[in-house]
Amino acid sequence: MAKRTIVTMPGDGIGRIVLPEALRVLRAVGFDAEFVHGDVGWEFWCNEGNALPERTIKLLEEHKIGLFGAITSKPKDKAEAELDPALKGKGYVYYSPIVTMRQHFNLDICIRPCRSFPGNPLNFIRRKGDGFEEPKVDVVIFRQNTECLYAGVEWTNPPAEVRRALETHKKMKAFAHVPSEDMAISLRIFTRPACQRIIRAAFDYARQHGYKSVTICEKPNVVRETSGMMELEAKKIAAEYPDIQLWSVNIDAMMMWMTKNPEDYGVIVSGNMFGDIVSDGFAGLVGGLGFAYSANIGPEVAVFEPTHGSAPKYERLSPSIVNPIAMIMAAAMMLDYIGEKEKADRIERAVAKVVAEGKVRTYDMLRLPGGPDVFRHGAVSTQEMTDAIIAAL
């Protein structure tokens, strides 16, 4: 069989530091693939007016699987100011390459696992009697990645025809006296096929990975149409999975339950906005940005990435201090996705072993302020953390 080819897109800042670490682990676990580099990030915006060049899109079209580090995004005026003078005034507009990638390839299924590694000092703990207990969090969030409030259909000072169309709804009477220039509208759009795809993906994952429940995390009692559609479709699809329970918890209630009993939940499904919220919430219970990773999966292409950004303030520190675990776990998730489950499990077990032993910890795990002197306080470098994980393989 032809070797697989993986498109590696380190991007900016610490993306360029952590992605090579993940490749070291992939090689060490015996994953026999070719890695081709894809240009993405700020430098390509400045020099070419496009942070996601067409040649990188072509690579993803051809090879289907991508590993992404992180990119730097800046506000519109800053982006414009840093553009090559030869390109200025020619109509180039900055768009975030990861958002563009999600839209271009319809990467509508975002999966964000939030699993605590026993022994991680950043884990959620709960007071019990005179002591504490540390419940095991093992949650996988399925976030619809392309619709909802993030579809970008919004106005400040909506045009008259938009206003007229909205006034066909009787609840708009409450806003009849508000001048359009004092009105901002962001549209929450859900479509039935996208709801079905994310819900089905969640149930399939639950079945394949042995989770006993799928929880819809929306707000159908108030946001009746969109959250309601998600819940309705979930009920229909759940009938095909009698071995898995369907629960429904409102997003606000979930914020309470996750800080009381996070161990009760397995697979969670949400629309884009609530999925963004609930996944950051659970990530905070299992170690935060050094441990949070995700997959963006479309019908053809899938891209795996840590949740963190490019952390520019640490990009030039040498040796590097940032935690490579989020990126390494993103690579393990990629292996699981392409059917290399045994190798994925080995990486996860190696990370678990290093975390449990507690001898090797990056600055974030020690709750140190980041900076060059973290090593004096017992932190290891990015590369030393990877070395320990490779040794544990």
Work out how close the CB of 143 gets to Mg ion at its nearest, in angstroms, rounded to a whole number: 9
Query: Of 311 and 390, which has the nearer Cβ to ligand NAI?
Result: 311
**Binding partner selected for residue 212 from ligand NAI, Mg ion, none, CB under the kind-specific 5 to 8 Å limit:** none
Nearest distance, CB of residue 83 and ligand NAI, angstroms:
16
Please tell me whether residue 102 binds ligand NAI under the rule CB under 6 A: no
Q: What is the 3-state secondary structure (H, E, C) of 162-200?
A: HHHHHCCCHHHHHHCCCCHHHCEEECCECCHHHHHHHHH
CB atoms under 10 Å from CB of 24, counted, come to 17
Rg of the chain (C-alpha set): 22
Give 18 or 201: the residue with its C-beta nearer to ligand NAI. 18
Residue pair 14/70 in contact (Cβ under 8 Å)? The answer is: yes
Sign of the C-alpha dihedral, residues 285, 134, 112, 190?
Answer: negative
Q: Does 227 bind ligand NAI (CB under 6 A)?
A: no
Kindly tell me which residue out of 70, 194, 202, 392 binds ligand NAI, with binding defined by CB under 6 A: 70
In terms of DSSP bridges, do strands 293-297 and 302-306 run parallel, antiparallel, or are they unpaired? antiparallel
Query: Which does residue 139 touch among ligand NAI, Mg ion, none (CB within 5 to 8 A, set by kind)?
Result: none
Q: Which residue has the tokens 């479709």?
A: 233
Contact 293, 329 (CB under 8 A): yes
Q: Which of 276, 340, 348, 364 binds ligand NAI (CB under 6 A)?
A: 364
State in angstroms the smallest separation of the CB of 276 from Mg ion.
4
Out of 218, 276, 305, 340, name the contact with Mg ion by CB under 5 A.
276
Q: Binding of ligand NAI at residue 122 (CB under 6 A)?
A: no
Pick one of Mg ion, ligand NAI, none as the site partner of residue 309 (Cβ within 5 to 8 A by kind): ligand NAI
The candidate with the shortest Cα–Cα distance to 224, out of 176, 257, 196, 190, is 190
**Residue 305 near Mg ion by CB under 5 A:** no
The burial of 236, by beta-carbon neighbours within 10 Å (0-12 exposed, 13-18 middle, 19 or more buried), is given as exposed
Considering the complex, state which of residue 104 and residue 209 has its C-beta at the smaller distance from ligand NAI. Answer: 104
Residues 6+ apart with CB under 8 A from 368: 374, 377, 379
The answer to whether residue 41 forms part of the interface with ligand NAI (CB under 6 A) is: no
145 touches ligand NAI by CB under 6 A: no
Q: Is 313 in the site for ligand NAI (CB under 6 A)?
A: yes
